[in-house]
Chain A
Amino acid sequence: MSPPASRDPDAFLAALRPHYDDALRYSRALCARWSPDEAEDVFQSALLQALEKHRTLRDPERFRPWFFQILTRTFYSAVRRHAVRRVLPLPTEAEAESLGLYADAPEPGAVADTLAVLGRLRAKERAALLLYELAGFSIDEVARIQGDRSASAVKSRLSRARSRAREIATRLGASTEAPSIHVIV
């Protein structure tokens, strides 16, 4: 099937290029503890949606928060589908071509430990923490990306996420012989 003529992949890829690695890191961390296929599916879906909507982006300077917002919402949808599949035998989407964005080999110890903690956070808390800490967005930008009206909601969410991450890290550390998890404070 040939791509629709309304797309402009070149322009989109040119805009994406500077933010590609950050977006990929963010997506990997968001989908921590998911299978590589599921995690890659989130990233690919976000890319396709962004490509379709790229012409509607009026201010090219805002490409980064705009794309991260699409990525975050795609992740939320995937989380909902995950929950539904637990009780309903929903049909799965056709297998997309694997791009090998997620290494099958295990992550290095520190990365794996951090992802283990992140993967146990609630989806919205995880996204807020990663948008702020990993992607480097401001509180206001995180609020806009997550669809919150006030920055205080994001501050509260970040605070809760940090507390929960600390508890999870402590618990994971206590349950293993070698507590190598960094406590996120």
Chain B
Amino acid sequence: MRSEFDPLHTAPLPDSFERTAAWLRQAPPPRPHRAPSVALAALLVFVGACSWPVSTTIAAGAVIELLSTDRIGVGHPTLATLDRLVPDEHQHMVELASVGEDGADGTIVRYAVLGADEPSVGRWRDTMAAQPGIQAVRVVDLDVIRRRPLGVSTVQRVLGVSSTPHLSDAQLQVELDRVLAETLPITIHVRRTASGERALDVGENVTLTLRPGARISQLPSRDSAMRGIAVDGLEPGGVSIAGRTIGPEGETPDTTRFEDARALEVALDSLSPDIARMIRDRIDANRLRVDSAYRGTLRADTTAQVFLFMRSDSLRRSLPRGARVDTVRRTLRVQTLRDSL
């Protein structure tokens, strides 16, 4: 075996020791090879970060939800109008739900459209809102959560590439249920306590007690992303939803509560046109979803208020003149003075 290495043993070597010794005596100390290690570490971190899976929310489409006083079935003019409005490639699912006993109080139509741009959906919403018998229309964004490598997600975001995910009917149903479940109303109820204070019940096991003259400083919430808008300076008055007058409820005679996601439409109807337009614009611009609303006098003064509770981005940007914003924990309060509008 060793004989195989004999050529290496016996190969002539240049007599280089003296040259090497002379070089070594004057050679500077070696520099550590830091650059490759740093560059390699940076490369590994970059590759690892790019492949790290992240949850990406992809806009898949929208659900146009209509509240009609009619009992809607196949062939109804409302559905025919929708079919004419929405191109075939965007039509995916229609869901009908009766309101009231045996549909006596109307029908909720949920029309899922996929891959349509936002302006088109807005036009369809406005067109449907003008149809006879339609009490309220809202658009719920249908987002799909997908796990993708961070690199792919970032590049798509930077380049503005948006890919509409393909959804089967079953997947669409799941996503639709999820989105609608997210917008389920939160029960909000104002009541007067035994000691005479007003208490605001938000959801389950959350109660906010309001002392006379005190401002809301904190609103506990089940959802940390919940935001609220309070509009002050309104005249008290009756509010109806789906043709039925709701409230006054509970022990507070001047308070109306809404436990339905359609509360936005009803709440806005009760506001002055300027304020309603301002709120709707801001909600649309910020792609907010209204979960619930109530109307009444929360504070111990005679000024009526409308509160809208949402679960999306804040309303911090570009507030209209005359609006004051009090940001408290988990709650953004927009207080619009009536005389400044």
**CB within 8 Å of B: which residues of A?**
1-4, 9, 12-13, 17, 20-21, 24-25, 28-29, 44-45, 47-49, 51-52, 77, 80-81, 84, 87-88, 90-91, 93, 97, 99-101, 103, 107-108, 110-111, 113-115, 133-134, 182-185
The CA-CA distance from A133 to B2 in the complex, in Å, is 6
Contact indicator B5/A99 (Cβ below 8 Å): no
Contact indicator A21/B13 (Cβ below 8 Å): yes
Which of these binds chain A: B31-39, B74-82, B87-95, B268-276?
Answer: B31-39
Distance in Å: Cβ of B11 to nearest Cβ of chain A: 5
Contact indicator B20/A47 (Cβ below 8 Å): yes
The CA-CA distance from A77 to B21 in the complex, in Å, is 24
The residues of B that contact A111 with a CB separation of less than 8 Å are 7-8, 11
Contact indicator B24/A9 (Cβ below 8 Å): yes
Partner of B14, one of A44, A52, A100: A100
The CA-CA distance from A167 to B8 in the complex, in Å, is 20
B28 at the interface (CB under 8 A from A): yes
Q: Which of B1-19 contact A (CB under 8 A)?
A: 1-2, 4-5, 7-9, 11, 13-14, 16-17, 19
5 contacts between A and B (CB under 8 A): A13-B21, A24-B16, A80-B36, A133-B2, A185-B1
Contact indicator A48/B30 (Cβ below 8 Å): yes
Q: Which of B116-148 contact A (CB under 8 A)?
A: none
Contact indicator B5/A3 (Cβ below 8 Å): no
A165, closest chain B residue (CB): B4
Partner of B20, one of A84, A88, A99, A182: A99
The residues of B that contact A80 with a CB separation of less than 8 Å are 36, 40
B26 at the interface (CB under 8 A from A): yes
Contact indicator B11/A25 (Cβ below 8 Å): yes
The residues of A that contact B31 with a CB separation of less than 8 Å are 93
Distance in Å: Cβ of B2 to nearest Cβ of chain A: 6
Contact indicator B17/A20 (Cβ below 8 Å): yes
Partner of B9, one of A9, A87, A134: A134
Contact indicator B16/A100 (Cβ below 8 Å): yes
Partner of B39, one of A3, A84, A99, A133: A84
A184, closest chain B residue (CB): B4
Partner of B29, one of A4, A13, A24, A90: A4
Contact indicator A108/B11 (Cβ below 8 Å): yes
The residues of B that contact A3 with a CB separation of less than 8 Å are 25-29
Contact indicator B43/A87 (Cβ below 8 Å): yes
Distance in Å: Cβ of A170 to nearest Cβ of chain B: 14
A sample of 12 more A-B contacts (CB under 8 A), given A13-B24, A25-B8, is: A3-B27, A13-B21, A20-B20, A25-B13, A29-B8, A80-B36, A88-B36, A90-B35, A110-B7, A113-B7, A114-B5, A133-B5
Distance in Å: Cβ of A53 to nearest Cβ of chain B: 10
Contact indicator A99/B16 (Cβ below 8 Å): yes
| The 8 residue pairs across chains A and B that have the minimum distance between CB atoms | A110-B7, A48-B30, A111-B7, A184-B4, A111-B11, A9-B25, A1-B28, A133-B5
